[in-house]
Amino acid sequence: MGESDQPEQINCENSEVIKEEINLQYHWYMPAFFIIFFGSILIPALLLMLYVEFFYLPYFLNSSNIISVFTHIEPILASIFMPFLLIICYLIHIFFVGLITRWFWSITEKRSPSKDGIIPRNIPSKTLNYYHIRSFMIKYPKNAVLRGPFPWLINWLYNFVGSNKIGKGSTIEEQFGADKYVEIGKNAYIGVNSGFSSHAVEGIFGNISYAKIKLGDNVTTAALNCLAPGVEIKDNSALFPLAGATKYSILKDNNYYFGVPLRKIFTKKVLSYLQIDETDLKKAEALYKKTEIDSKIKNQRINSHE
């Protein structure tokens, strides 16, 4: 992408295309990482040092004898509040990780916005440069959250930074990839080790296909699912384990999918997979209808009393 928002084009009149090595831009990578890392630990480290210096060290570690640690209120309180302070410091660290990353991310988006298309890799490319910068920049924040005590904060991180859009009530398990240009609806479940890749390199030195992955509301992806760029899964659909979708696949709503590449699974296949027969299915449907009727009756009674 040049100075304008128009996509870059290769001049087809020339029979030869000048191939260039990828610009790794260490002048962006290293400062960005160190600013995110050290900037995010500055305040929590200062708080922890002050607490240790003025409370934990004099009242607990420097106690005159072991008995006083358990009999005096000061060392007891100093030891009790220590884990709470560590949690608070970690949360402050994660907040500043997100804040600084968000600032860098917004700069790159202003200079070269993320958009669907083909990113060339054998010509000078502003789009490619910022694509690599964003890919590098989100790695530490993602791992700082997923490897921490509160991995569910990943939803907040993605939404706050702006790399992804995650709906309310959605659960994301530990996964690889899926750290940018992904949109997930409400109440979705992303299973363990699912790989969502909004980019695909066409061959070793080929161009990059870059397209947003979209999941609707109430979508479930089981373990070890792979989604390629441009995949869209409509509402209330589910993927069985080890299922994979090729580029730009659009999956309809209210369906189950399995296999590589993905294909719709029908009722008989589901019954065979779950090892149940039609009698069990009918019983489940009858129970579901009965539950709905009971719920409606209960709501009517509540409304009548009101």
Model confidence over 59-112: pLDDT tens digits? 888 887 888 888 888 888 989 999 999 999 999 999 999 999 999 999 999 999
Can you tell me the mean pLDDT for 223-245? 92
* 16 and 148 part of one domain: yes
Q: Are residues 155 and 17 in the same domain?
A: yes
What's the rounded mean pLDDT across residues 189-202? 90
Q: Looking at residue 4, what is its pLDDT?
A: 38
Q: Would the pLDDT of 123 be above 90?
A: no
Residues 141 and 97 sit within 8 Å (Cβ to Cβ): yes
Residues 153 and 21 reside in one and the same domain: yes
Say if residue 20 is in the same domain as residue 88.
Answer: yes
Regarding whether 140 and 27 lie in a shared domain, the answer is yes
Mean per-residue pLDDT for 141-167?
Answer: 94
Q: According to the model, what pLDDT value does residue 2 have?
A: 39
Is 22 domain-assigned?
A: yes
As a whole number of angstroms, the distance between CA 11 and CA 132 comes to 24
Residue 240's SS3 state is: coil
Q: Say what the pTM is.
A: 0.77
Same domain? 30 vs 138? yes
Q: pLDDT band at residue 186, thresholds of 50, 70 and 90?
A: very high
Whether residues 41 and 152 fall in one domain? yes
- What is the structure's pLDDT at 250? 92
Spatial neighbors of 299 by CB under 8 A, at least 6 apart, are none
CB–CB of 93/147 below 8 Å?
Answer: no
249: Cα separation from own chain's centroid: 21
Are 236 and 293 members of one domain?
no
Q: How many domains does the chain have?
A: 3
The answer to whether residues 14 and 143 belong to one domain is: yes
pLDDT class of 161 with cuts at 50, 70, 90: very high
* 120 falls within a domain: no
pLDDT at 306: 63
- Determine the Cα–Cα distance for residues 302 and 300; give it in Å rounded to an integer: 5
Domain span at residue 1 reads 1-115+125-161
Whether residues 130 and 83 share a domain: the answer is yes
pLDDT at 7: 38
Does one domain contain both 244 and 291? no
CA distances in angstroms from 267 to 40, 160, 259, 281, listed in the order given: 52, 41, 16, 10
Is the same domain home to 156 and 169? no
